[in-house]
Structure 1
Amino acid sequence: MTEITEYQKDLIEALTNPKEAAAYLNAALEEVDRETLLLALRNVAEANSGPEQDTA
């Protein structure tokens, strides 16, 4: 596994904690660009969604 993949996995795991997710989103809100906030929202949503289901 690459370092980026490991980082993303660790990030998603950390964002399942509501306090971690709130701090992460607050940091993203302090950034100027919209893309940073959208990425943060996507990461928190991914971390807090249920297990992926096969819809096929």
Structure 2
Amino acid sequence: EDESARTVIIVADEHYIMTTAIDDKHILVVVLSRNVEVGGMIPSVIEVASSLRDIID
């Protein structure tokens, strides 16, 4: 399963909004400043989502 396929990045005026599915009922939403290098944050967000999945299961 491709974890990054479940991650969406929205570019707003001053922020990046990243969402990734935890399960069928939950999503993780991360809001980052546009000053942050978003590409470097994707693995961290995916890791947090995976940890949350383990907790929920």
Choose between structure 1 and 2: higher strand proportion: 2
**TM-score normalised according to structure 1 size:** 0.34
Choose between structure 1 and 2: higher helix proportion: 1
Tell which has more relative contact order, 1 or 2 (C-alpha 8 A, sep 6+).
1
